Amino acid sequence: MQLTRHTDYALRLLICLAQADGARMAIADVAQAQDISRTHLMKIANQLAHEGFIEATRGRGGGIRLARDPAQINIGAVVQAMEPSCGLVSCAGCGLIKGCGLPSVFAQAQRAFYNQLSGHTLADVMGAGIAL
C-alpha cells in the first residue's frame, strides 16, 4: 500500500508542528523547509484544521500549531482522514468478482494496516528509533 503525497505532507507538517512545541508556525516557513508547494501545504493545513488536528490563526501573529498534545494525535486517524477512500484495489468492472475471494483478503489487509497505524501517536514517532 502506498500513501499519497498529500498524506505524506500532512504527516510531515504535523511532525514539524510537534517539534515547534506549541509555537505558531507560518505555512510558508514549513513549505520552504520541507520543499513543498506553499499552495499545496495550505490545502493540507486547511484539511487538518477541519479535522481538528491543528489550529489556524489568520493575520499578524497568526500561523498554525497543533490543536492538541502530540500524544493525543493518532497516526491512524490522521491517515484515515487524509486518505478517506484508500482501497488497495478496485474490483469494479472485474468479471471474476462473483467467485473471487481477493476483496475480503484485501479488506483484512487494510484493516491490519490501519490497526498498526492506530497503535501509534504523533508523540511516538517523535522519538528516535521508533519504528512503525
CA dist 131 and 99 (Å) reads 38
Beta-carbon neighbour count of residue 6 at 10 Å?
13
- Per residue in 37-50, pLDDT (tens digit) is 999 999 999 999 99
Q: Rounded mean pLDDT of 22-50?
A: 94
The mean predicted confidence, pLDDT, of the chain is 88
Q: Is residue 86 part of a domain?
A: yes
The residue among 35, 13, 9 whose CA lies nearest residue 26 is: 13
User: 130 pLDDT exceeds 50?
Assistant: no
Helix (H) or strand (E) holding 63: strand 63-66
User: 85 pLDDT exceeds 90?
Assistant: no
Domain limits for position 84: 5-126
pTM: 0.84
User: 129 pLDDT exceeds 50?
Assistant: no
User: 29 pLDDT exceeds 70?
Assistant: yes
Per-residue confidence at 1, pLDDT binned at 50, 70, 90? low
User: 28 pLDDT exceeds 70?
Assistant: yes
Q: Is residue 36 part of a domain?
A: yes
- Residue-wise burial string across 18-48, b where 16 or more C-beta atoms lie within 10 A, e elsewhere: bebeeeebebeebbeeeebeeeebeebbeeb
Q: Read off the CATH number of the domain in which 103 is found.
A: 1.10.10.10
Q: Is residue 80 part of a domain?
A: yes
Q: Is residue 131 part of a domain?
A: no
Number of domains in the chain: 1
Residues contacting residue 20 through CB under 8 Å, at least 6 positions apart: 65
